[in-house]
Chains A and B, each alone.
Chain A
């Protein structure tokens, strides 16, 4: 409720044209993520992308909303399910697909694959496949930002499973103690692989517990990217103004299985009905409807979508045709002797 009214306030405060433009930009990010993930689904069975794929379908509004608010001057750290955040941060798919295909054109020269995307030049510092392990790293990144007085904020993304790990609590404590400029983003889909939160948490609400720490807490169940964007903006200004971290918990629904491209409703741990409920508020469709309502024409939207389709098609083709890395890429660059 608070989130809704705050968003309404911002909406009123911004000129309608600027709002419309913002929503269009947010839609481009949502659509880029959606289209990219669908393209992966199309090509994954060819068995050429030999990397464990954790699709971001369903969470697009979180990545697009938060990353758009952050821009490329701030920094992010991610989990193995980070296609959405990477795409929202970089808007590029060439080095992205190169990495998924294990090619020399990959942003990490094929060393990391889907689970370890990296783009330090745009602030995407890295992604880890050990649950919660980037959260402590974010505290150090934030400490350096505070130390260098460069005004940067780091957002660290993690799932609801991560809050069971010691690293989460240790890092939250460090960040609150040292008043670090960290935005904790909990992407809460209610499942750790296949285990529901009811079988994992000895408490009812993570946010209620985090509220006891010296940080601000924001909660949302929306799939509206605009609301998430506005919340993230509010979080960023709160981190700067109040000089303490923010914990943002955003619920979403994971459309596909934990790892791999298929749906898995037949396996019994979750239901198709639940999925349909979330699908009715699908973030991409929701935002498209909003654009139309705001007066942007169908033709304009389609033309933008086409551009993105072409980008994705071209870049996956480039990746398919690109060479594999050489033997020297097996090794870390030989170090400059410092002494």
Chain B
């Protein structure tokens, strides 16, 4: 049994099911309890579970994470939402100095079952303070788990696992993905944190994508298969930390070519970690150097044409594949690439 549902609905279902299953689960954060319901992902929670288990809070990001830590220490399973990952920068002390360490520092006597949901991604001229990803910041610190689901099924299964996990988990949701529709089994079993997934099989080249970049990678793979007969294997790590690199290594050993398309800046980013692991574990199998694709090495601009230049797309992946495999440029004029222009009208 399965249903075709949106990513947004998948998250909503995971929350409802977990809150029904475990009375210790509650959700809170800035604007969590209002009528917008965090891009409609928390619809119905307040009505179903009451304002004691779904509520808006004062604007104090750092304290909100510390609040979650304290509640978790005492046996609750808090889900704290931050509408932009940029806002989570205000909570770095509680995240990195406190939540990440409390279990270790207690000699393993305490558990910290805390979930941080944070939203990433572009929208309506978000500019430089509403557009970051920063997965490598969080993944850098021992004690924090970081997941970036791409499909509705992964969003649901990973959020369920995050809520049941006894360590802090940051789940990063790309706002464009909320509209993505996919097959979600009923019931959706929890998907273990720390397992990658092959989104599309292929024998010629490996693309490792994170979050929205997997949507672009799948589009690129489709075009290249159709027009060039090239088999692109798309691997989604799903969990940034702890990273399961086994499928990545297996895939690169098979194809010998690798592109890392991380939804973030390249410099000191997660793509560097992936590249380093591939060099460590399959250096002899590489037929070409690893190629990294990410945000332009600059600030995120507001102006739409500039914003379009800032973000990498399927076209960048196609061009990188051609370069690696020594193919001439594919004519893309007949292709229909993802565009947000007609789907989104603001105000944010």
Q: Which residues between 281 and 302 of chain A lie within 8 Å of chain B, taking CB atoms?
A: none
CA gap between A219 and B185 in the complex, in Å: 60
Q: Tally inter-chain residue pairs, CB-CB below 8 A.
A: 146
Known: A111-B105, A173-B58, A335-B167. A139 touches B161 (CB 8 A): no
**Chain A: CB-nearest residue to B62:** A167
Instruction: State how many residues of chain B have any CB contact under 8 Å with chain A.
Output: 47
CA gap between A145 and B161 in the complex, in Å: 25
Contact between chains at A140 and B62 (CB < 8 Å): no
A selection of 20 A-B contacts at a CB cut-off of 8 Å is A111-B107, A120-B110, A126-B73, A126-B105, A133-B98, A135-B66, A137-B67, A138-B70, A139-B70, A140-B74, A141-B74, A143-B70, A143-B71, A143-B76, A144-B74, A145-B74, A148-B74, A166-B63, A174-B58, A174-B63
* Residues of chain A contacted by B58 (CB below 8 angstroms): 170, 173-174, 177
* Residues of chain A contacted by B104 (CB below 8 angstroms): 111, 332
**A185 touches B (CB below 8 Å):** no
Apart from the given pairs A112-B105, A130-B93, 9 other A-B contacts in the complex at a CB distance below 8 Å: A108-B106, A120-B109, A133-B97, A137-B67, A143-B70, A144-B75, A145-B74, A170-B60, A174-B57
Contact between chains at A137 and B110 (CB < 8 Å): no
Residues of A within 8 A of B (CB): 75, 77, 106-109, 111-112, 116, 118, 120-121, 125-126, 128, 130, 133-145, 147-148, 154, 166-167, 170-171, 173-174, 177, 332-333, 335-339
* Residues of chain B contacted by A118 (CB below 8 angstroms): 105-107, 109-110
**Central interface residue in B26, B71, B190, by most chain A CB within 10 Å:** B71
CA gap between A145 and B64 in the complex, in Å: 17
- 4 closest Cβ pairs, A-B complex: A140-B70, A136-B66, A144-B74, A170-B60
* Residues of chain A contacted by B108 (CB below 8 angstroms): 332-333
Contact between chains at A137 and B106 (CB < 8 Å): no
Contact between chains at B69 and A140 (CB < 8 Å): yes
Measured between C-beta atoms, what is the minimum distance from B186 to chain A in Å? 17
Flag B107-124 by CB within 8 Å of A: 1 or 0 each.
111100000000000000
**B192 touches A (CB below 8 Å):** yes
CA gap between A2 and B58 in the complex, in Å: 34
* Residues of chain B contacted by A147 (CB below 8 angstroms): 26, 52, 71, 76
Q: Which residues between 229 and 252 of chain B lie within 8 Å of chain A, taking CB atoms?
A: none
CA gap between A139 and B193 in the complex, in Å: 29
CA gap between A138 and B69 in the complex, in Å: 9
Known: A133-B94, A167-B63. A108 touches B107 (CB 8 A): yes
CA gap between A337 and B69 in the complex, in Å: 21
CA gap between A286 and B72 in the complex, in Å: 41
Measured between C-beta atoms, what is the minimum distance from A36 to chain B in Å? 20
Contact between chains at A332 and B60 (CB < 8 Å): no
Contact between chains at A137 and B109 (CB < 8 Å): no
